[in-house]
């Protein structure tokens, strides 16, 4: 019988232990014994043959989005909001071929639609990156004038962690590197939203027992990432099983040709769950009354809004097991665990990006 993934209580303890080790320079708790590591590596080699991979370069998507959408609104003449994306291949948009299908473009178009204001995107994410590349990405973003040469971004989206798991980076090391990157961005005046490590147990070709081990390690890392990010003043969105049960239910549609990276529909599903938190970080998303569980409208498969104040490690552990969940700071040692109501179905996110059309060149505006 397969063992269950650790529950919220034990998950909270592990998340706090890893985050504390990160803060004090430790290596973190080992997750696997020697025999398990040997089995894991054998399964990894088999999974890699099954998954395949892609050497395609993600399409460049830097530029100004939403000029057409914003032209009818009061913000048409406003200075564009500045959005930056950092992280790994998922942040870069590996697996799709059109700029508007990348997560950065989808988020920029959605943010422009909500703000009724143009959004300038700069993506410095790198395929294959682990958390040790974040310092270089942050430097690249901040040391040459930010998004448009005129200062730091208004908001940064970071997606990182999957490669740390597959490359066996010690969890506390991974978390410390992320914490330091968030601290630098916050010190520069940026709002920060981190998409935590996705649940690698949802990758379709991965067999047991690797599936269980991958899920366990990725969820533990995600919870510890949340503790560190929230304590630095950022927000997190749990990528979990890549933001919803749709990925497990419809892997052929939501994973790309390599069965590892999301398809265009998969990235739109991720953007749909990410967008409310991105907008809320900028004060653009209406806050729901606490306990509001009204339906969010047709086509919204996960519409209920729930909010709960919990110790940060407990909120982190709960979020790691529920894709699309937001964790942000609250008073004292507490954090707010939110499941925001989604106001756009997947088709709506894609339609917004399509209406935005091709972005203006990055130097325009």
Contacts 24+ apart (CB under 8 A), 289-294: 292/341, 294/341
Would you say the pTM of this structure is higher than 0.85?
no
Largest CA distance in the chain: 62
- Are the beta carbons of 247 and 269 closer than 8 angstroms? yes
Which residue has better confidence, 363 or 99?
99
The distance of Cα 288 from the centroid of its chain, to the nearest Å, equals 22
Q: What pLDDT sits at residue 299? A: 36
- Are the beta carbons of 120 and 64 closer than 8 angstroms? yes
The torsion angles phi and psi of 337, rounded to 5 degrees, stand at -100, 120
Highest mean pLDDT among 1-5, 77-81, 115-119, 343-347: 115-119
Mean model confidence pLDDT for the chain: 76
CA proximity to 238, closest of 202, 283, 194: 194
Per-residue pLDDT reduced to its tens digit, 181-204: 999 999 999 999 999 998 876 655
* pLDDT above 70 for 252: no
Q: Measured between alpha carbons, how far is 262 from 2 in angstroms, rounded to an integer?
A: 27
* pLDDT above 80 for 75: no
Per-residue pLDDT reduced to its tens digit, 21-57: 776 665 554 444 555 555 555 565 555 555 445 557 8
Average the pLDDT over 119-148 and give the result.
89
């Amino acid at each position: 019988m397969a063992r269950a993934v650790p529950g919220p209580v034990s998950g909270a303890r592990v998340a706090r232990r890893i985050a504390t080790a990160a803060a004090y320079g430790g290596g973190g708790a080992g997750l696997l014994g020697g025999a398990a590591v040997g089995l894991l590596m054998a399964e990894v080699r088999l999974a890699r043959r099954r998954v395949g991979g892609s050497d395609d370069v993600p399409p460049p998507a830097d530029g100004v989005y939403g000029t057409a959408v914003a032209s009818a609104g009061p913000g048409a003449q406003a200075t564009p909001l500045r959005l930056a994306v950092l992280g790994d291949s998922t942040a870069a948009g590996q697996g799709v071929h059109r700029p508007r299908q990348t997560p950065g473009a989808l988020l920029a178009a959605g943010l422009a639609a909500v703000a009724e204001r143009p959004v300038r995107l700069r993506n410095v994410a790198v395929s294959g990156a682990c958390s040790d590349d974040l310092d270089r990405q942050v430097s690249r973003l901040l040391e040459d004038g930010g998004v448009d040469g005129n200062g730091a971004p208004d908001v940064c989206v970071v997606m990182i962690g999957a490669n740390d798991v597959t490359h066996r980076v010690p969890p506390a090391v991974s978390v410390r590197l992320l914490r330091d990157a968030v601290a630098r961005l916050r010190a520069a005046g940026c709002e920060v939203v981190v998409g935590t490590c996705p649940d690698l147990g949802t990758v379709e070709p991965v067999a047991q027992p690797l599936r269980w081990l991958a899920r366990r390690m990725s969820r533990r890392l995600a919870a510890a990432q949340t503790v560190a990010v929230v304590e630095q003043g950022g927000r997190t969105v749990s990528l979990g099983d890549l933001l919803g049960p749709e990925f497990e239910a419809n892997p052929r549609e939501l994973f790309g040709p390599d069965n590892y990276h999301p398809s265009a529909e998969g990235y739109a599903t991720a953007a749909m769950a990410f967008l409310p938190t991105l907008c809320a970080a900028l004060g653009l998303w209406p806050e729901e009354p606490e306990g509001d569980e009204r339906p969010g409208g047709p086509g919204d498969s996960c519409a209920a809004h729930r909010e709960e104040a919990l110790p940060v490690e407990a909120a982190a552990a709960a979020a790691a097991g529920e894709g699309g969940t937001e964790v942000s700071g609250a008073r004292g040692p507490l954090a707010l665990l939110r499941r925001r109501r989604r106001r756009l179905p997947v088709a709506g996110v894609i339609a917004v990006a399509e209406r935005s059309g091709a972005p203006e060149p990055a130097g325009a505006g």
